[in-house]
Amino acid sequence: MKKLVLITFSDPKDTWQNREYEKTIRYFVDKFKKRLGIEEDIEFVVEYFVINSESKPGSLVGKYIREKKQDIVGIIVEAHKSIEINRAVFFMIEMLRGTIPIQMFFFEGKTPKILEEIVLDKMEGKVL
């Protein structure tokens, strides 16, 4: 079965992998499937990337995609708290966009938004 992968930089135990939020997560996954044009049944996989002082976040995302893309129908990347990390990851996503369906998102309050650009120190996007 092909996979829709969520890449997150925060521990997913209390969010993406918590059974309490199963309905919310299913709704979120369905919205992204529709946005990415995925009609087939998929497996939803959460990948947790730990960022430290030696990490290059854009490279981590790019390497993962290059190594795993044959099994993946789409990738969604949850924005990090750091705007600098988001810039690096967003740059890599823009470079890879033609090779695989991929989107980066962030939450503004409780509203999920698709990241369209980073202007100065602010992420801008439209509601998912």
Q: What pTM was estimated for this model as a whole? A: 0.87
Domain with 40 in it: what CATH number? 3.40.50
Mean of the per-residue pLDDT values of the chain: 88
Instruction: Check residue 69 and give its pLDDT.
Output: 78
Q: Which of 55, 64, 49 is nearest to 96 (CA)?
A: 64
Distance CA 7, CA 3 (A): 12
Q: What is the rounded CA–CA span in Å between residue 19 and residue 40?
A: 23
Ramachandran class of 42: left when φ > 0, alpha when ψ lies in -120 to 50, beta otherwise: beta
Q: Is the pLDDT of residue 118 over 90?
A: yes
Quick check: helix, strand or coil at residue 9? Answer: coil
CA 80 to each of CA 30, 77, 123: distance values in angstroms, whole numbers, following the listed order: 22, 9, 11
Task: State the total domains in the chain.
Answer: 1
101: containing domain: 3-127
Q: Burial of 34 by CB count in 10 Å (0-12 exposed, 13-18 middle, 19+ buried)?
A: exposed
Quick check: 66 pLDDT over 90?
no
Give the per-residue pLDDT at 47: 92
pLDDT confidence of residue 95: 86
The tens digit of pLDDT for each residue in 25-50 reads: 888 889 889 888 888 899 999 999 98
The predicted structure's pLDDT at residue 62: 85
pLDDT for 124? 94
